Each structure stands twice: as structure tokens, then as C-alpha cells.
Amino acid sequence: MFVQIVQGKVRHPEQVRAELDRWAEELSRTSVGLLGATAGVTQDGQLINVARFESEEAARENNDQPKQKAWWAETAEFFEGTPTFVESSRVVEDVVGDPDQAGFVQVIQVRTTDSDRVEELMSRRPDDPSAARPDVLGSLSIGHDDGTWTTVIWFTSEAEARENEAKEMPEEMQQQMAEMAELTEGEPTFLDLTDPWLFTPRQ
């Protein structure tokens, strides 16, 4: 899998949402190697769009299409300044439900001191993940060259996510989270998408 992430502040979130819907209606059928996308705007106007592709080659081919380029040129005008664009093939995916049914998405960005060890920890999966967090439909963690990680978590709803995060986790998960915290530099950044835009190509 290959992931591309676009992030930046937007002036009018409703216009960006309309552009994403227009892309789904008019351009999604010609996309190359796209597995799906998750996007949304935080309460303070930060847009993030996480697009998943079959491969880096497919992503490049998709981005080079004239219609895709034209759409992006129009959409980029909604940003305040130049948005950031990062991509990676270092991906840890854990899907236990249907992310397209998520009512709430949280994106966590953190800088680490040992990216390899963080990847090992993220790759661990409980025997029954739904027992501890039935509200989690899946997660996607993306490692970047500078040691930062972006993790996308799909939840059934914000209310259920808040309720379950307050509960005590199993000991194994507590130990995993404690070691993750030791490998973290500074405070994580949380981007809450209360009205997520979710897209998966029709089969």
C-alpha cells in the first residue's frame, strides 16, 4: 500500500466538501489504483485527506492524469497558503470492521525516537480487539522519513469513542501504550473529524 496525505487550513470547509463530492461523482471512476480515502475538516479549519493506493506507481499515474491535475488546481485555491503533502509506503493497517461506516475519525500525529520499534508495536494485534474497543472499526498508521507517524482511527461514533477511551484497557494494551509514550517526542497532535468524508471505489 502507498499513502498520500494532504493537510492545511481551509477558509470554507463546505466548499471543500463540495469539491470532494464532485470528485467522487465525476472523476473517481477514472482513478488509478485508489483503494480509498478519508478526509475531513477539524473545528479550527484544518483539512486532512488521506488517500490509499495499491502502489506508488499507481498513485503517480493517477496524479498525472490531466483531469485529476485540473481538479486539484481548483481545490488548492481553498487553502490558506500552501498545504503540506507527504507520502509513504510504510503502512500498518488493521481493519476489524467497515471504516466506511465510521461516524467519527481521529487522526493522531506524533514524532518518535525509534520508528522501527514503533512500527513493531503498532503491528501487534490483540486476540480479540473488539472486546476492548468495540467502537474501533479500524486503523491506519503511516510512517514518515523524519520519524513522525500519522495514525487514522475510524470509530463508530464520537460518543462511543469518548465513552470507551475512559475505560481501563487490558494490561497488554496498557504496556504497549506506555512503551509508545516513551518513544514519543513532544505532545501528539489530535485532529478530530466529526463529519468525516469516506470514499471507497465501487467494485
- CB 113 within 8 Å of CB 183: yes
- Residue 150 is part of a domain; what is its CATH number? 3.30.70.100
CA distances, 11 to each of 5, 49, 69 (Å): 19, 16, 21
pLDDT value of residue 150: 96
Q: How many domains does the structure of the chain reveal?
A: 2
Q: Which residues in 90-116 are b (16+ Cβ under 10 Å) and which e?
A: bebbbebbebeebbbbbbebbbbeebe
- Model confidence, pTM: 0.91
155 with 68, same domain: the answer is no
For 125, the 3-state DSSP assignment is coil
Q: Helix axis angle, 13-26 relative to 66-75, nearest 10°?
A: 170
| 48: β partners | 7, 40
30 with 43, same domain: the answer is yes
Type of residue found at 44: D
Question: pLDDT for 110-145, tens place per residue?
Answer: 999 999 999 998 887 766 666 678 899 999 999 999
Band of residue 107 on the pLDDT scale cut at 50, 70, 90? very high
Question: pLDDT for 66-75, tens place per residue?
Answer: 999 999 999 9
Asked if pLDDT for residue 170 goes beyond 80, the answer is no
pLDDT value of residue 103: 97
Domain limits for position 126: 91-193
